[in-house]
Amino acid sequence: MKTIKRYLPFALPHLPAYLLGFLALVVVDTVQTLIPQLIRRAVDDLAVGSVPPLVWVVLAMCGIAILMGLARFVWRQCIIGVSRKIEAEVRHTLYRHILSLSMDFFHRTKTGEIMAHCTNDLQAVRMALGIGLVGLVDAVYLSLVVLFMMLRMNPLLTLYVLVPLPVLSVITFILGRIIYRRFRELQRMFADITEFVRETVSGVRVIKAFVQEDGVLRAFKGQNDEYSARGVKLGWIDSLFDPLLWAVIGASVTVLLFVGGKYTLAGKISVGQFVAFVSYIEMIAWPMIAMGWIVNIFQRGNASMDRIYKLLEEKPSVVKPEFPKKEHITEGIVEFKNACFAYNGRQVLSGINIVAQRGRILAVVGEVGSGKSTLVKLVPRLYDVDEGSVLVDGVDVREWDLVGLRRGVGFVPQDNFLFADTIRGNISFGNPFANLDDVLWALEMVELKDEVDSFSDGINTIVGERGVSLSGGQKQRVAIARALINSPDVIFADEPTGNLDRKAGFEIMAIFQELNRQGNTIILVTHEDFIARHAKKILELHYGKIKREETVTNRLDAREELKRIEKEE
């Protein structure tokens, strides 16, 4: 019942289309049950040598065929069409919800699992709300109408024929529960395989560099074989339905031949009625066969809907304040007051107290795992502190308008992720309303405009997946340009020179120093001491605590260093 309620928010808005579709389905089933009666009349007329009524029987059957064709078209358009729309709506709801979740969710959830929700699970839900509902209504209504027709002709013979049918309920109950459990497990394994394939494709360069193709293939084969084995087990249960159902149908037909044959010879029913009974047995066979198929579809759909709702019930840990105190950065002062943060019970930051002044560069250094990257992610509220506070312009970031805060902050991530879009599309990603002049200004600020102009397609050059067509320095500059497109007052750069040579590192630092001269507050995360020496203040972290604070007296000038390197070359 709980799972059924979960379908309602998506199905109820389409109730008129569903009702029209079900009405058309009822019309198909109703007129379909009239065909055996026409056959009965034709057989009985032939038995007494009456030929003229056959013309009317033929015309009636042609009319029924036309009506059934039209009604079938209507229910397919309504019910199957609606199921496609619901699939799109659930996918949109799911996608929107995923984007609303906080970073901690993505750290504990595999990408493959999310992909499985958006593909296989949605397909199973669509099948349940489409062809599954059609099969259910069709099977129930057609069974009732056929039984009514059979009871009208001979109630006692009908009861004999129906004796084997209660076995269906037992079969459906037992096998349905097994299918539900095994399908949930199969979907979980599909998510694991999807994640494995995604990780393999993303890391294919590393795999080839270390000649680990065979090892990765063996690991994939193990998972794939396990998935296949579990699929076979589910298929084995599925395959039991048809033989068992046909056995029940065969038993009904056997009873009809034995008892119905005696009734016909004894004159209790006519030959036409016997033929009609055979037609009705064949007709009621579909609902009995479909019952197993319908149970299978709904059990899969229910399992998938449960998985989808488990994701939809996830709540973001970072939420917008109901009444924000501030929307736009004006002073550009960032302050950490006794900031503490733990992830999965592991303390990452403890008692951080530091102020980043406007127009200054603060360099955050430390060993791997010291909490440098986490520190800068607290300001745009990718995470929230557990204790203490983070202030921007003297206001706790938890009391800021979240959109205004993030738009006022430029963020250059450590991995320099670029979308498989154009250079222009990547730079304007943070500001869809940015015009051509804005993009060119950002390119000039990062000193990349001349290089981009030399490309055949200029700023419309497709950079490929994760910016594969660009060099490391070019990707870094595009990432910085993307951070600048909103003209932020505060800029965070996480290891902006980590994968670059010394000269390229100085080129990037020259950009940040120029931004610093224009009054931007810059917090720079780095593990390289020569990069940190470009800052006004250095903050060293050790296991999440402040180890050292240093005011740099002899700051390096990146442009002077570049001139020195050029002379040496």
Average pLDDT on 526-531 reads 77
Q: What is the DSSP letter of 422?
A: B
**In whole angstroms, how large is the CA radius of gyration of the chain?**
35
Q: Pick the more confident residue, 411 or 534.
A: 411
Other C-beta atoms within 10 Å of 211: how many? 8
What is the C-alpha separation between 194 and 114, in angstroms, rounded?
9
* Position with higher pLDDT, 308 vs 172: 308
Q: What is the mean pLDDT of residues 17-25?
A: 92
Show the tokens assigned to 180: 């539900």
Q: Does residue 528 have a pLDDT over 80?
A: no
pLDDT tens for residues 79-132? 998 999 988 888 888 888 888 888 888 878 777 777 777 877 888 888 888 888
Q: What is the pLDDT of residue 25?
A: 92
Residue of higher predicted confidence among 160 and 29: 29
d(CA 359, CA 376): 17
564 neighbors 545 (Cβ within 8 angstroms): no
pLDDT digits (tens, 9 = 90+) for 418-429: 887 888 888 888
Q: Which residue has the higher pLDDT, 134 or 182?
A: 134
Question: What is the overall mean pLDDT for the chain?
Answer: 81
Residue 1 pLDDT exceeds 60: no
Q: Which residues contact 308 (CB under 8 A, 6 or more apart)?
A: 90, 94, 117, 121, 122, 125
**pLDDT the model gives residue 289:** 66
For 190, the token pair is 């599909």
Over residues 443-448, the mean pLDDT reads: 81
Is the whole-model pTM more than 0.75?
Answer: no
